[in-house]
Amino acid sequence: MALSKILVSLDGSVLAEKAVPIAMSLARSSGAEICLITVADGKPGDMPYDDSELYLEEVSSSLRHSGFTSCFHVGTGSAAHSIVQTAHDEEVDLIIMTTRGRSGITRGILGSVTDEVISKSLMPVYVVRSDNATNAGEQSEFGAGTIVPLDGSELAETALEEAILLSHLSLSPIYLVRVIEESSSVETRDRAGAYLERLCGQLAERKILAIPELMTGHPGISIIQFMNTRPGSVVVLTTRGSGGLTRWIRGSVADWLIHRAPGPIVVVSPKHQALLGSVIH
């Protein structure tokens, strides 16, 4: 798997534009083309189509002046549908979005454009709060680490391929994190530890450095605490775990992290990984 084209969603706001430096950092490491999109959906306050085109041409021209290959698209209608369709048509490898746009702080991924893009996209979606985006862009090249939360399911493991790619670009290790309840039995702890060691061993056979991290407590809080010890780290997780969509997105780990994490979250669709084939099994 390679990173050859990145799609950045913009809406004309300074907050949304904070996704651009992140795309530049990843493109600088991978040689990927940066594709821009904004959607002129006719809502009050949105830019007209012609203004959107001029805006994207300006941003794209700035990227080309900085040495990047760039293209742009102005979508119409539903923002999420247009973003997902463009990602499909352009065969992008990654969509980058911030969780704050012209309308200010949104409710998060639930009920928002980001939520809809995550639920419909076959491509991984790199989500970062705009108040963290500047640091994410500056620190993403320094090898702080790529964190993969796991729950013991093969569905959760489908995030590994994207994590491997990002860790390779940033020359950083992968941290395989398993969070269990504090009241877990010794047998459960041993089984969880053995599971992480097994995955690390399988990745080592591919010459990929993976470090096991077994933690106890609330999954979201534990992952954030771990991120805080590694400024600039990125979390990569799938939209489903052993509990299905309910456990990992609706009101749980992914949503918790996107609202509160000190860094970016990359959400991977299991449908996309199914097209790629098994990661390590």
Lowest mean pLDDT of 22-26, 33-37, 131-135, 218-222, name the range: 131-135
CATH number for region 5-138 = 3.40.50.620
Q: What is the mean pLDDT of residues 200-227?
A: 95
Higher pLDDT, 279 or 71: 71
pTM for this prediction? 0.85
Lowest mean pLDDT of 50-59, 150-159, 170-179, 244-253, name the range: 244-253
Query: Residue 240 — pLDDT band, cuts 50, 70, 90?
Result: low
Q: Quote the pLDDT of residue 4.
A: 95
Q: What is the mean pLDDT of residues 202-218?
A: 95
> Does 253 score more than 80 pLDDT?
no
Across the chain, mean pLDDT equals 83
Q: Please tell me if the domain spanning 5-138 has the same topology as the one spanning 143-276.
A: yes
- Domains of the chain, by residue range, sit at 5-138, 143-276
CATH number for region 143-276 = 3.40.50.620
DSSP sequence for the chain: ----EEEEE--S-HHHHTHHHHHHHHHHHH--EEEEEEEE---TTPPPHHHHHHHHHHHHHHHHHTT--EEEEEEES-HHHHHHHHHHHTT-SEEEEESEETTEE---STTSHHHHHHHH-SS-EEEE-HHHHHHHHHHTTS---EEEEE-S-HHHHTTHHHHHHHHHHHT--EEEEEEE-TT--HHHHHHHHHHHHHHHHHHHTTT--EEEEEEES-HHHHHHHHHHTSTT-EEEEES-BTTHHHHHTTTSHHHHHHHH-SS-EEEE-HHHHHHH--S--
